[in-house]
């Protein structure tokens, strides 16, 4: 990394970046390994992608936000054509009559941490070190960009077959979610989405900063702990300031594809310090609420992260299965997602949990 915070992603960075993004993705964001493979092929063909700090661009420069939209399980079963986000971004440029100077993640979670990298490699653009969530959320409007005033249009969505749909005039971010979600379902529940161009000074104020570098650091910690045969879960907790909330075995998992989302619930029978307890995690692409013996202990927007108890591998919701032994840890979300404006969009009541009142987690003794 250079003194000004700029660095060029290498092939060796992609695996730790994907692992760290899977952890921050709280179970969602798309399969990280698939995203890593797609990025790796572009770098092997000679593409380069530079990561820039949020303050690297002049105020008036235009920044594009891109990401995959749909259900995570479909992203494993249905191979992308590869240029979905690129074509959506170019369509937005054409309608808005601007040229992007850089791209940024909608969410740092899972494969969506890689979508701007892939699109940047195809377009010859840099990627900004930040995102709009500091984690992953299931719906389009659930970004700091939209919460703090980004325009809902023009936006565009593209699929693997060559279809591109442009939304020229949209009333607000909720209508964009409706239109984009319905269109993604028609496209096979997996597509690439690009939102309206944002000025760099706006992005600087509203993005969750440093999340690509954070994901890269977390992934390196996990790989280093495995190589040194350390307790990976303990190392993750020590280096991120996370808190361990439950350990146990998955005894039941229910998932269904409904309305363009993977919805369901995981049941976990406790082990270790939680022997005799029962855990339950609600899922809408991401992990939304953890209950222990029917008491809610972590809830959105804070991060609920499932790790393999032995390897520390972050387990995304589409690969969660019966018999897995988990450690469930929690991390506080960035302060930008804790304001009254944000709570109305990403708090538990926004997901239909009207009886839950958000109680924010605190960082552990080390912090991030």
* pLDDT tens readout for residues 127-153: 999 999 999 998 999 999 999 999 999
Q: Give the three-class secondary structure for 267.
A: strand
State mean pLDDT over 307-332.
94
The phi and psi torsions of 18 (rounded to 5 degrees) equal -70, -35
- Give 8's contacts (C-beta < 8 A, 6+ positions apart): 48, 49, 50, 51
Closest-CA residue to 100 (of 114, 86, 113): 86
Pairing of strands 50-52, 62-70: unpaired
State mean pLDDT over 298-322.
94
- Give 261's contacts (C-beta < 8 A, 6+ positions apart): 71, 138, 284, 285
What pLDDT is stored for residue 366 in this prediction?
A: 34
What pLDDT is stored for residue 368 in this prediction?
A: 32
State mean pLDDT over 178-204.
95
The alpha carbon of residue 312 and the mean position of all alpha carbons in its chain are separated, in whole angstroms, by: 18
Alpha-carbon gap, residue 287 to 88, rounded angstroms:
28
Alpha-carbon gap, residue 327 to 305, rounded angstroms:
8
What pLDDT is stored for residue 82 in this prediction?
A: 87
Q: Please report which helix (H) or strand (E) contains residue 359, including its range.
A: none
Token pair for 47? 């593409």
Q: Please report which helix (H) or strand (E) contains residue 93, including its range.
A: helix 84-96
State mean pLDDT over 187-193.
91
Q: How many other C-beta atoms can be found within 10 angstroms of the C-beta atom of residue 39?
A: 26
Residue 269: pLDDT band (50, 70, 90) is: very high
Is residue 243 over pLDDT 90?
Answer: yes
Alpha-carbon gap, residue 254 to 241, rounded angstroms:
31
Alpha-carbon gap, residue 146 to 345, rounded angstroms:
10
What pLDDT is stored for residue 351 in this prediction?
A: 93
Burial grade of 224 (CB within 10 A; 0-12, 13-18, 19 or more) = middle
Alpha-carbon gap, residue 14 to 40, rounded angstroms:
7
Residue 179: pLDDT band (50, 70, 90) is: very high
Q: Give the rounded percent of residues in the chain with a pLDDT score beyond 70.
A: 93
pTM of the model: 0.92
| Half-sphere exposure of residue 264: CA atoms within 13 angstroms, side-chain side | 21
Q: Please report which helix (H) or strand (E) contains residue 203, including its range.
A: helix 200-206
What pLDDT is stored for residue 29 in this prediction?
A: 75
Mean pLDDT of the chain: 92
What pLDDT is stored for residue 3 in this prediction?
A: 61
111 neighbors 68 (Cβ within 8 angstroms): yes
What pLDDT is stored for residue 111 in this prediction?
A: 86
Pairing of strands 127-131, 208-209: antiparallel
State mean pLDDT over 298-312.
96
State mean pLDDT over 281-305.
95
Torsion of CA 82, 83, 88, 91, to 10 degrees: -170
For tokens 């959105």, name the residue.
Answer: 300
Is residue 74 over pLDDT 90?
Answer: no
Is residue 57 over pLDDT 60?
Answer: yes
Burial grade of 344 (CB within 10 A; 0-12, 13-18, 19 or more) = exposed
Residue 89 to residues 72, 92, 101, 159, 196: CA-CA distances in angstroms?
A: 21, 5, 12, 12, 9
Alpha-carbon gap, residue 44 to 174, rounded angstroms:
39
Alpha-carbon gap, residue 259 to 199, rounded angstroms:
32
């Amino acid at each position: 990394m250079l003194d000004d915070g700029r660095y060029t992603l290498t092939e060796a960075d992609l695996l730790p970046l994907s692992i760290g993004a899977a952890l921050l993705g709280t179970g969602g964001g798309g399969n990280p390994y698939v995203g890593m493979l797609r990025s790796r092929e572009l770098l092997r063909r000679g593409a380069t992608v530079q990561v820039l700090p949020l303050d690297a661009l002049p105020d008036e420069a235009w920044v594009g936000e891109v990401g995959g939209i749909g259900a995570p399980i479909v992203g494993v079963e249905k191979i992308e054509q590869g240029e979905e986000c690129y074509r959506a971004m170019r369509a937005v440029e054409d309608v808005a009559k601007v040229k992007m100077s850089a791209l940024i993640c909608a969410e740092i979670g899972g494969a969506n941490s890689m979508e701007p990298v892939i699109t940047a490699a195809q377009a010859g653009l840099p990627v900004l070190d930040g995102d709009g969530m500091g984690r992953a959320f299931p719906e389009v409007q659930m970004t700091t960009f939209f919460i703090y005033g980004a325009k809902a249009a023009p936006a565009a969505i593209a699929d693997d077959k060559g279809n591109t749909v442009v939304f020229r005039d949209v009333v607000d971010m909720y209508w964009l979610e409706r239109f984009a979600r319905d269109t993604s379902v028609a496209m096979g529940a997996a597509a690439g989405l690009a939102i309206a161009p944002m000025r760099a000074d706006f992005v600087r104020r509203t993005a969750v900063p440093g999340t690509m570098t954070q994901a890269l650091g977390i992934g390196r910690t996990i790989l280093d702990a495995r190589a040194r045969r350390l307790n990976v879960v303990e190392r993750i907790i020590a280096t991120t300031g996370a808190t361990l909330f439950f350990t146990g075995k998955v005894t039941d998992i229910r998932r269904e594809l409904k309305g363009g989302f993977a919805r369901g619930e995981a049941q976990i029978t406790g082990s270790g310090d939680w022997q005799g307890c029962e855990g339950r995690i609600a899922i809408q692409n991401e992990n939304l609420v953890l209950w222990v013996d029917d008491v809610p202990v972590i809830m959105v927007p804070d991060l609920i992260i499932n790790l393999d108890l032995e390897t520390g591998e972050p387990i995304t919701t589409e690969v969660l299965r019966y018999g897995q032994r988990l450690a469930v840890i929690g991390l506080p979300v960035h302060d930008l997602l804790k304001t009254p404006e944000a709570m109305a969009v990403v708090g538990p009541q926004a997901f239909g949990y009207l009886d839950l009142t958000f109680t924010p987690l605190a960082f552990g003794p080390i912090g991030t």
